[in-house]
Structure 1
Amino acid sequence: MTANLGKIDRVLRLVLGIVLLAAPFMSGFGVFEGGAATIISVIVGFVMIGTSAMKFCPMYRIFGIRTCKL
């Protein structure tokens, strides 16, 4: 896997992932009252953190996007 995420993209994904992981448990939003929204938020949060850690996004590869400098 060749890295295709730049530094700013990685930081934004990490922050968004943390927010998505924390939102169902720390917010009082009604949307998280049901189980589906909580599960989706947690899964997407883990994916965001994982892609940030690996410096690779499969969707970027499919669409030919590259935000890192070579």
Structure 2
Amino acid sequence: MTRNVGGIDRTLRILLGLVLIALAATGTVGWWGWLGVVPLLTGLVGWCPPYAMLGLNTCKTKG
């Protein structure tokens, strides 16, 4: 897997994921808040499957 998520994109994904999970855990939002796991994982790993399929890359470095 070549990284295709970098910099600000990664940071925003991690923050969004954490916020959604926290909101779901506190009952502020419904079950869909647990979908925050997806952006959290893609941010932590640095690879996004839809980006790979569409040929997008926000990562400045290769590898």
- Give the structure-2-normalised TM-score: 0.83
Question: Structure 1 runs of 4+ off > 3 angstroms?
Answer: none
Seq. identity, %: 40
The amino acid of 1:57's aligned partner reads: C
Q: What are the within-5 Å matches in structure 2 for residues 1-70 of structure 1?
A: 1-24=1-24, 25=26, 27=28, 32=29, 37-38=30-31, 40-42=32-34, 44-70=35-61
String of CA shifts for 1:2-24, please: whole Å, max 9, x gaps. 00001110000000001110112
Unaligned runs of 5+ in 2: none
Unaligned runs of 5+ in 1: none
Supply the distance in 1 between the matched residues of 2:54 and 2:15 (Cα, whole angstroms): 23
Q: How large is the RMSD of aligned CA atoms in angstroms?
A: 1.4
The amino acid of 1:46's aligned partner reads: V
The amino acid of 1:65's aligned partner reads: L
- Give the structure-1-normalised TM-score: 0.76
User: How many residues are aligned here?
Assistant: 60
Supply the distance in 2 between the matched residues of 1:68 and 1:26 (Cα, whole angstroms): 35
